[in-house]
Amino acid sequence: MATATGASLKGKVAIVTGASSGIGAETARYFASLGCYVSITGRNLDNLMKVAKECEERGLPKDKVLVVQGDLSRDEDVKKLVDQTVTQLTFSINNAGIFKPDTIETVTMENFDSTFAVNTRAPLHLLILTGPYLVKTKGTVVNVSSMNGVRAFRGDLSYCMSKSALDALTLGAAETLALHGVRINSVNPGVIKTNIHRRGGMNEEQYAQFLEKGSRTHALGRIGQPIEVAKTIAFLASDDSSYTTGETVTIDGGRHAMVIIRPKPEKTKT
């Protein structure tokens, strides 16, 4: 008899970072609906508590939803997250990320360091700390990367670099930990409707224009929704993808297949 997709997550334990909004929040809710116990973390405690309540509404007992407030750019907060999560950890979903626009002409080392601290260093640190638990449970890791990791986008230099490095971590760690039965994969979303660009400095008008442009740069003619990424994360975390590791899966509505011809920049008048 066939089992439902994601059924193997039931009764297991998952850490979900960046769970106070967007893809992380939707992943926590979706995992909860599959009966997976969740340890959720993020910087906004009010939002985390709201997501925890929604996980309970999806069927999880209150004591199976752990809320750990923290900033994963801080080593002590990464350690606190692992220490407070039960030792039967099976899944680690590295979703926390920040975006601050820059180019080679405007980048600062401060922006580079803060972007890498959350987008790349924190997943590495978390993997180091959770590795022993994952080996015991033959667990899985899903890194939430980006299309920016596989293609260059103007104005996103530090972000693109951080996501390329995250993909490299996925490949390198997958090759080694496969020897212990641990699988590691990445999802690489295109434009998904979340708050990351607003937090990066876009106002409402700019964000609306960004979303409208996204509907033209993705082959399916629309932007994506967090649940579409969450379902792919669940597939990669579960036994349904038991022969898949070291993979980077684009969830981008065909964005990677599009050829975008940019207009030449206007010449500066002298």
Separation of alpha carbons 48 and 42, rounded Å: 7
Separation of alpha carbons 138 and 239, rounded Å: 11
Name, in order, each residue with C-beta under 8 angstroms of 218's C-beta and a sequence gap of 6 or more. Answer: 190, 191, 224, 252, 253, 254, 255, 258
Name, in order, each residue with C-beta under 8 angstroms of 230's C-beta and a sequence gap of 6 or more. Answer: 23, 26, 27, 29, 30, 31
For the chain, how far is it from start to end, CA to CA, in angstroms?
A: 74
Instruction: Check: CB of residue 169 under 8 Å from CB of residue 231.
Output: no
Token code pair at residue 128: 């180091």
Separation of alpha carbons 95 and 128, rounded Å: 16
Catalytic, out of 37, 159, 207, 243: 159
Separation of alpha carbons 92 and 138, rounded Å: 12
Name, in order, each residue with C-beta under 8 angstroms of 135's C-beta and a sequence gap of 6 or more. Answer: 177, 180, 181, 182
Q: Note if 159 is an active site residue.
A: yes
- For 123, the 3-state DSSP assignment is helix
Separation of alpha carbons 11 and 13, rounded Å: 7
Instruction: Check: CB of residue 12 under 8 Å from CB of residue 39.
Output: no
Which residues are tagged catalytic?
159
